[in-house]
A and B are shown apart, each in its own frame.
Chain A
């Protein structure tokens, strides 16, 4: 059972380049999340999804896009990378158990540097 996997682990981008951060979970969770963690700061929610085909903005969505075509995958797209997007990105997932969501499970993170 792999849990939540993220690729790549590290990436360096030039300003204006684009890339997609991949996130996959094998737990059949319906909820998925993308967070970013800046140095010395807590995690901030970028986007989240409550199921395939449904996404919504979190606290800091500008400069990012997401899609959720399957239950397992929730990729995060950066279209025009900027230095302000230098951060560590975490994907997480959880299930809805009745009316209450369960514990969030996190991936190992992607460290992104934009130069």
Chain B
């Protein structure tokens, strides 16, 4: 079946450091890939997505590229801020459920940025 493996946390970085959170996936078809973010006390919200191989999703300075050859979708940001402290989830959509985007999630990575 489908699965998503995420870099284990927690991750602690200093402000302005470079961030990478690794994500790899297993899927039988051609999934869409997502990064969701959960700020303290809030629900998950979509950060970025990519729907086909070699697509790059980007938002708020974060980027991730859909790499089919390595089945990866790593999240990167060049210079993190304290406000980026949150839990980040990698997810994929089930390609066998056309028109019904059931998501498979990774376990989440807690990121803390210290000033």
Contacts and interface: CB of A to CB of B under 8 A. Distances in A.
Interface of A: 4, 6, 31, 33, 35, 40-45, 48, 50, 58, 90, 92, 94, 96, 99-109
Contacts, number: 57
B100 A101 contact: yes
A106 B4 contact: no
A106 B45 contact: yes
Interface residues of B, number: 23
Given A43-B89, A108-B43, A109-B43, A48 B106 contact: no
Interface in B83-115: 89, 91, 98-108
B92 to A, nearest CB: 11
B82 interface: no
Which of B36, B100, B104 gathers the greatest number of chain A CB atoms within 10 Å? B100
B49 interface: yes
A107 B4 CA distance: 22
B43 A4 contact: yes
A41 B8 CA distance: 11
Given A42-B4, A42-B105, A100 B46 contact: no
B44 to A, nearest CB: 4
B45 A100 contact: no
